[in-house]
Structure 1
Amino acid sequence: MGGARCAAVSIDGEVRPHLATRLASALADAAAPSAVDGRALVLTGGETARAVLDRLGVARLRPVTAREGAVLSRTETGRLVVTRPGSFGGPASLTDLVRIVLSEPVTPKEPR
């Protein structure tokens, strides 16, 4: 990845359950265009993460390791994707995950 660029996607605050799917979809629509360049992604919340990955055409993740309550995975093209449950971690946990991604990148492995 060129430079130290990482797109972080999260829904902040309380989400009414009946609006969760629409909100995740709208957030994915807004975030996906800025992430088409292959940069690392830090995604929280299952529905939000899946919606963003769907918009980017990512069908499969290969888990590599776990850190700070999150799973670091690689896509088939080698892109680093960090996923974490939306309910996990404190106010700084998303920032901490971005710092981990930028300072300790996981080396891509050869596809099997």
Structure 2
Amino acid sequence: MEPKKNKWINDILSSSDGIQRVDPSPFLFAKIQNRLDTEASTVYLSARTVWLTIASFALLLLLNWHIISQQSAPFSPNSAELNAVVSDMQLYPSTNQPYDLWSGQSY
């Protein structure tokens, strides 16, 4: 088994013996340099695209402001309903409950 593995490794290593180095075109560097030196063409956006973008951001800001400024009633869980849900779903919190949501029996 070992000679077969060594032969396979040698075949893999010798597969790159016939590869020749490829020389780039003599003017490749000049072409790249020319493209870097030329000014980038100006990109024009249509007025419709600009206004749609502005309207989208304005709508996003308005919705965020509405959600943040909206006053919601504080949540006060009914202990009878909470106990019913916990017993129906068999949700028994551990003794190290970090939140003060459960006031029933701890199992």
Structure 1 and Structure 2 fold alike (TM over 0.5): no
Whose radius of gyration is greater, 1 or 2?
Answer: 2
Give the structure with the larger helix fraction. Answer: 2
Normalised by the length of structure 1, the TM-score is 0.19
Give the structure with the larger strand fraction. Answer: 1
Higher relative CO (CA 8 A, sep ≥ 6), structure 1 or 2? 1
